[in-house]
């Protein structure tokens, strides 16, 4: 297994994910057949000493009866063990969680106030845990940095009054759901790492041996959370610099009235400094400006579009493009094989090995191939595999990815990293918990996930427009800057703001494939004239608007359409002709009672975006301007 894994890691191949998934299935199955909760608990008990308090744990009864625990300290729900609350029982020995790994329903463990010794139990073996209470024992030693790695459900960690030493483990800072952390009364030393989880409500690190500044993210915590550490400083405790005799005064130009050589010299000095600073700023500005211009020039000189004979549209529309034969730029460099290229320096926290080792979950098979969700250090990322990008040379590919990676706009999902291999590419972006617009429009709904109401839909439509507009201004050389806009490529963040995804890929996708699958090539102009234009994304935007207003899944998204006339635009047109416009709107959409006028206004804009004749179709800026004028109306 070790050898096999090593080989796979060295030469990652397309099957690696399946291998990992098979492996996880295997573990899952083997663990669920490995024996009942009862066996697991009894062996765990045997591994402890002084277990008199656990005399009710006996093989002749079940640990649970419905929601009640038959065994002391066992918390149950619906016949399965959900928690262990072994507190104040005088238990001794070391805690080996390997015995409990098979108990997948276990959400909480408490061993508080016993006499356990030894190192921190290997808590991440129980990856599903929500809370861990180990306070008031004699656990000791350093906690490994990655002790809490990948525990994305963990909310509460209580380690108060033990003998832990060394640094506060960094993996605690990456727990996405952490709400309460108590480390007080140990011997932790070094600096407090930066906890930036918004979920963290309560933290106590008092009575340790910590030093250095308290990270700003914790400055709002109660000051008693930090007491008893001699060398901590910064908010909410005292300031970090020892108070000077004369508090520092911001430099200012002395009053002009004062004369004398000394003050003149001071003025000269200050002026010189100011001038130098100004020059430095100007230089930085000019350099960055030049760089950007160079980037654009470069972009025009060597477009990354690599095309094959199937390109029918190239000649007539968009900026001039140069046709290159693939491979002219491909100089496979051994050292770069198997490397993950990060587009955001601060995100380079994992490498390809971590990615391949991370637990992967198939999210679905999208247009281009499967996508996977991988969890690395409780960062959830989405990895998409593309096999249809192999006509692009290495340098062109790198350049295009860097360009996509440089885009920052609140309505664009940033590309985090990519992996290049001739026959396969991986693109890595963040996982967006709230899912796609398509899911919200067409998925099953319940109380947690109500149908999107009208104000939300309008906000999303406006946000999509902003994202598109930013793509158009930053990728001016692309004919269709997005190219694949549809509701499954619009993700929604926690505040239901849209994030566009899968944008700017037309230059790197093999053309025959793109023409078969991508939204831009489903436009009327491509069907009629075999070309796409700068207004093609506007058509996709229009379809999206109609989809959101009607709640209907557009036939236009399908690869094999049964009836080309049965598309959303025709349907809406037909309904308008029959004077049944009010029946067009999604009947489940709330908040529309007094907004009929606005709904119709937006419907008309959507229709103008879908105008078959490219000449009369709105362009992007016109569409956005008109949409900005639509408001929610007097919603109820
Ligand atoms: C309780 O468990 C039974 C069988 O194990 C299952 O059918 C039922 O749906 C469960 N009920 C709840 C509320 O989880
Ligand atoms: C700890 O457990 C002992 C019994 O083992 C009990 O007497 C004591 O009150 C408990 N302390 C706390 C703080 O719960
Ligand atoms: C932190 O713990 C100490 C004792 O360990 C206690 O005195 C203090 O009140 C606690 N502060 C908070 C905010 O919990």
Residue 347 alpha carbon to ligand 2 centre in Å: 45
Q: What CATH code is assigned to 32-204?
A: 3.80.10.10
User: Roughly what angle, to the nearest 10 degrees, separates helices 568-577 and 596-609?
Assistant: 130
Q: Residue 332's pLDDT is what?
A: 34
CB 118 within 8 A of CB 140: yes
CB 192 within 8 A of CB 210: yes
Q: Check pocket membership of 335 for ligand 1, CB cut-off 6 A.
A: no
Superfamily of domain 435-636: Transferase(Phosphotransferase) domain 1 (1.10.510.10)
State the angle between helix axes of 261-301 and 394-405 in degrees (0 to 180), rounded to the nearest 10.
Answer: 130
Ligand 1 pocket test, pick from 62, 78, 104 with the greatest ligand atom count within 8 Å of Cβ, gives 78
363 φ/ψ angles, rounded to the nearest 5 degrees: -90, -30
By alpha-carbon position, which residue is closest to atom 9 of ligand 2?
Answer: 88
CA distances from 542 to 65, 96, 98, 538 (A): 57, 59, 56, 6
CA dihedral 609, 611, 616, 621 (to 10 degrees): 10
Q: Give, in degrees to the nearest 5, the angle at Cα 294 between 304 and 483.
A: 35
pLDDT of residue 547: 94
How many whole angstroms from 295 Cα to the centroid of ligand 1?
A: 60
Q: What is the DSSP code string of 233-259?
A: ESTTSS-SSPPPSS------PPPTT--
- Ligand 1 close to Cβ of residue 252 (< 6 A): no
Nearest to residue 601, comparing CAs of 571, 623, 569, 577? 623
Distance 77 CA to ligand 1 centre (A): 9
- Hey, what CATH topology would domain 300-326+335-431 get? Phosphorylase Kinase; domain 1 (3.30.200)
Centroid of ligand 1 to alpha carbon of 80 (angstroms):
10
The pLDDT of residue 264: 45
Indicate the top mutation candidate among 224, 226, 232 to test ligand 3's pocket, ranked by most ligand atoms within 8 A of CB.
224
Residue nearest to atom 3 of ligand 1 (CA): 78
Cβ proximity of 317 and 534 under 8 Å:
yes
Distance CA 448, CA 439 (A): 13
Q: Which atom number of ligand 1 is nearest to the Cα of residue 78?
A: 1
| Residue 495 CB less than 6 A away from ligand 1 | no
**How much is the pLDDT for 632?**
83
Considering every ligand atom shown, identify the ligand nearest to the alpha carbon of residue 86 and give its number: 2
Q: Determine the distance from the C-alpha atom of residue 238 to the mean position of all C-alpha atoms in its chain, rounded to a whole number.
A: 36
Give the dihedral of Cα atoms 174, 177, 183, 189; nearest 10 deg.
10
Give the whole-angstrom CA distance, residue 557 versus residue 555. 5
How many angstroms is it from 186 CA to the middle of ligand 2?
19
User: According to the model, what pLDDT value does residue 564 have?
Assistant: 58
Omega within 30 of 0 (cis) for the link into 624: no
- CA of 78 from ligand 1 middle (Å) equals 6
Supply the pLDDT for residue 396. 87
Per residue in 108-121, pLDDT tens? 999 999 999 999 99
Terminal-residue alpha carbon distance, the chain: 62
The pLDDT, as a whole number, for residue 249 is: 34
Using CA atoms, how far apart are residues 623 and 609, in angstroms rounded to an integer?
7
Q: Where are the domains of the chain?
A: 32-204, 300-326+335-431, 435-636
Q: Which residues of the chain have pLDDT under 70?
A: 1-35, 241-338, 364-367, 369, 444-449, 559-566, 634-636
CA separation for the pair 601, 629 (Å, rounded)? 9
Residue with the smallest CA separation from ligand 1 atom 2 is 78
What's the chain's Rg over C-alpha atoms?
31
d(CA 467, CA 497): 11
Task: Kindly give the distance from the C-alpha atom of residue 487 to the centroid of ligand 1, in angstroms, as a whole number.
Answer: 35
Cα–Cα distance measured from residue 184 to residue 192, given in angstroms and rounded to the nearest whole number: 12
Q: Which helix (H) or strand (E) holds 189?
A: strand 187-190
Strand ranges of the sheet holding 180-182, from the earlier edge strand across to the other edge: 74-77, 80-85, 108-110, 131-133, 156-158, 180-182, 202-204
Q: Is 64 in the pocket of ligand 1 (CB under 6 A)?
A: no
Task: Give the closest residue (by CA) to ligand 3 atom 8.
Answer: 224
- Pocket residue to mutate for ligand 2, from 85, 88, 115, most atoms within 8 A of Cβ: 88
Indicate the SS3 state at residue 494: coil
137 lines ligand 2 (CB under 6 A): no
Atom of ligand 2 nearest to the CA of 113: 1
Cβ–Cβ contacts within 10 Å for residue 420, how many?
21
Give CA–CA dist 110/85, Å, rounded: 5
User: How far are the Cα atoms of 143, 326, 427, 508 from residue 329, in angstroms, in the given order?
Assistant: 48, 7, 20, 14
HSE-CB of 457 using CA atoms within 13 angstroms: 31
pTM: 0.48
Q: Whose CA is nearest to atom 7 of ligand 1?
A: 78
SS3 177: coil
């Amino acid at each position: 297994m070790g050898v096999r894994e090593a080989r796979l890691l060295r030469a990652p191949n397309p099957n690696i994910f399946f291998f990992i998934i098979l492996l996880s299935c295997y573990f899952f199955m083997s663990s669920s057949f490995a024996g009942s909760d009862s066996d697991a608990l009894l062996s765990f008990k045997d591994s402890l000493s002084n277990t008199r308090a656990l005399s009710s744990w006996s093989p002749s009864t079940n640990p649970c009866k419905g929601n009640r625990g038959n065994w002391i300290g066992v918390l149950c729900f619906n016949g399965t063990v959900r928690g262990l609350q072994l507190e104040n029982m005088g238990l001794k020995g070391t805690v080996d969680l390997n015995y409990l790994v098979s108990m997948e329903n276990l959400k909480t463990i408490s061993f508080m106030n016993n006499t356990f010794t030894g190192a921190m139990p290997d808590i991440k073996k129980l990856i599903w845990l929500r809370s861990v209470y180990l306070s008031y024992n004699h656990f000791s030693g350093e906690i490994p940095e990655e002790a809490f790695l990948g525990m994305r459900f963990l909310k509460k960690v209580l380690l108060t009054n033990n003998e832990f030493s060394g640094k506060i483990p960094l993996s605690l800072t990456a727990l996405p759901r952490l709400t309460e952390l108590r480390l007080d009364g140990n011997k932790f030393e070094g600096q407090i790492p930066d906890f930036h989880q918004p979920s963290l409500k309560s933290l106590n690190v008092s009575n340790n041996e910590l030093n250095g500044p308290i990270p700003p993210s914790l400055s709002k915590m109660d000051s008693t959370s930090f007491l008893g550490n001699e060398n901590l400083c910064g908010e909410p405790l005292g300031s970090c610099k020892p108070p000077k005799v004369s508090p520092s005064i911001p430099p200012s130009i002395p009053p002009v009235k004062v004369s004398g050589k000394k003050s003149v010299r001071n003025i000269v000095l200050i002026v010189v400094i100011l001038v130098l600073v100004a020059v430095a700023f100007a230089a930085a500005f000019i350099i960055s400006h030049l760089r950007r211009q160079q980037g654009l020039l470069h972009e025009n000189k060597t477009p990354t579009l690599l095309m094959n004979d199937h390109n029918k549209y190239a000649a007539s529309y968009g900026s001039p493009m140069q046709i290159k034969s693939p491979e002219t730029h491909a100089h496979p460099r051994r050292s770069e094989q198997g490397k993950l290229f990060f587009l955001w320096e601060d995100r380079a926290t994992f490498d390809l090995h971590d990615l391949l080792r991370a637990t992967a979950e198939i999210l679905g098979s999208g247009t281009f191939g499967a996508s996977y969700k991988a969890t690395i250090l409780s960062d959830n990322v989405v990895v998409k595999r593309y096999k249809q990008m192999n006509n692009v040379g290495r340098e062109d590919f790198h350049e295009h990815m860097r360009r996509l990676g440089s885009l920052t706009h609140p309505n664009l999902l940033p590309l985090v990293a990519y992996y290049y291999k001739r026959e396969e590419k991986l693109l890595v972006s963040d996982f967006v918990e709230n899912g796609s617009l398509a899911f919200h429009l067409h998925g099953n709904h319940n109380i947690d996930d109500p149908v999107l109401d009208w104000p939300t839909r309008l906000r999303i439509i406006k946000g999509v427009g902003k994202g598109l507009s930013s793509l158009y201004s930053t990728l001016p050389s692309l004919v269709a800057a997005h190219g694949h806009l549809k509701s499954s490529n619009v993700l929604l963040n926690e505040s239901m703001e849209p994030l566009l995804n899968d944008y700017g890929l037309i230059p790197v996708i093999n053309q025959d494939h793109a023409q078969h699958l991508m939204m831009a090539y489903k436009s009327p102009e491509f069907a009629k004239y075999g070309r796409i234009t700068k207004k093609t994304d506007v058509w996709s935007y229009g379809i999206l608007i109609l989809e959101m207003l009607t709640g209907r899944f557009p036939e236009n998204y399908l690869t094999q359409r049964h009836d080309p006339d049965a598309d959303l635009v025709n349907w809406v047109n037909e309904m308008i002709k029959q004077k049944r416009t009010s029946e067009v709107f999604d009947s489940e959409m709330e908040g529309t009672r007094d907004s009929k006028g606005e709904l119709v206004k937006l419907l008309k804009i959507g229709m103008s975006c879908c105008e078959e004749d490219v000449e009369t179709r709105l362009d992007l800026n016109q569409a956005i301007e008109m949409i900005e004028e639509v408001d929610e109306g007097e919603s109820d």
